[in-house]
């Protein structure tokens, strides 16, 4: 069964057992952990489309956490601090976090990772970089060479970029 929009919100965020709703424990519903979806967003794996769908269904509860540098890393502690700092976070998406997900008190952590066919993904990266208005090395190289040469260059310079 696939739920979307209002049905998804109702099923995941609002349907705690009636007994748990009636009890209070430090201002929270006892026996109910508020869900948190952590989306591990791998570049060019349809993550932006997935985020769009989540935003459409969940609104402002969808957040993105990445460090300023493209090669940054989001740690478990970064995720925990971010989520504990904003009680309204329902979804946290990051290009720079990696599984396994951290345990967060009072939250039931769910995870998602979208994986695309590797060759189609590499072609998509190449086409994406060819249209970027940037003087960064990737877009410059993609505009200057054919697909095969670009892949060979990436495998030599930044092989991690091509790994799912």
Domain ranges (residues) in the chain: 5-113, 118-162
Nearest residue to 18 (alpha-carbon basis) of 34, 33, 30: 30
pLDDT at 67 over 60: yes
Distance between CA atoms of residues 98 and 41, nearest Å: 9
- The reported pLDDT for the residue numbered 15 is 46
Backbone angles phi, psi at 37, to 5 degrees: -95, 125
- Better-scored residue on pLDDT, 140 or 19: 140
Distance between CA atoms of residues 5 and 29, nearest Å: 24
pLDDT at 53 over 70: yes
Helix pair angle (118-130, 147-157), 10° resolution: 100
Could you give the percent of the chain with pLDDT greater than 70? Answer: 80
Q: What is the pLDDT of residues 86-126, one digit of tens each?
A: 989 999 999 999 999 999 999 999 999 999 999 999 999 99
Distance between CA atoms of residues 84 and 63, nearest Å: 13
pLDDT at 17 over 50: no
The token pair that represents 162 in the structure block: 């091509």
Confidence category of residue 57, pLDDT binned at 50, 70, 90? very high
- The reported pLDDT for the residue numbered 16 is 42
Mean pLDDT computed over 142-151: 98
pLDDT at 32 over 90: no
Determine the 3-state secondary structure of 13 from DSSP: helix
The token pair that represents 41 in the structure block: 């967003």
Distance between CA atoms of residues 8 and 102, nearest Å: 23
Number of C-beta neighbours around residue 41 at 10 A: 22
Are residues 8 and 54 in contact, defined by beta-carbon separation less than 8 angstroms? no
Dihedral sign of CA atoms 93, 96, 100, 101 in order: negative
Mean pLDDT of the chain: 85
- DSSP state at residue 130: H
Determine the 3-state secondary structure of 126 from DSSP: helix
- The reported pLDDT for the residue numbered 21 is 45
Could you give the percent of the chain with pLDDT greater than 90? Answer: 68
pLDDT at 65 over 90: yes
Q: Which residues are paired to 93 by β-bridges? A: 39, 64
Q: What Rg do the C-alpha atoms of the chain give, in angstroms?
A: 19
pTM confidence score = 0.71
């Amino acid at each position: 069964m696939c739920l979307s929009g209002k049905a998804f919100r109702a099923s995941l965020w609002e349907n705690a057992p009636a007994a748990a709703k009636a009890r209070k424990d430090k201002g929270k519903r006892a026996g109910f952990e508020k869900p948190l979806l952590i989306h591990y967003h791998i570049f060019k794996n349809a993550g932006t489309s997935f985020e769009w769908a989540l935003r459409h269904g969940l609104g402002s509860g969808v957040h993105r956490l990445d460090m300023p540098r493209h090669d940054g890393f989001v740690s478990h502690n970064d995720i925990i601090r971010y989520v504990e700092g904003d009680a309204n976070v329902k979804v946290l998406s990051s290009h720079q976090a990696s599984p396994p997900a951290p345990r967060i008190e009072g939250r039931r952590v769910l995870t998602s990772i979208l994986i695309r066919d590797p060759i189609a993904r590499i072609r998509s990266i190449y086409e994406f970089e060819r249209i970027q208005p940037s003087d960064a090395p990737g877009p410059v190289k993609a505009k200057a060479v054919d697909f095969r040469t670009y892949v060979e260059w990436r495998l030599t310079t930044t092989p991690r970029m091509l790994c799912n």
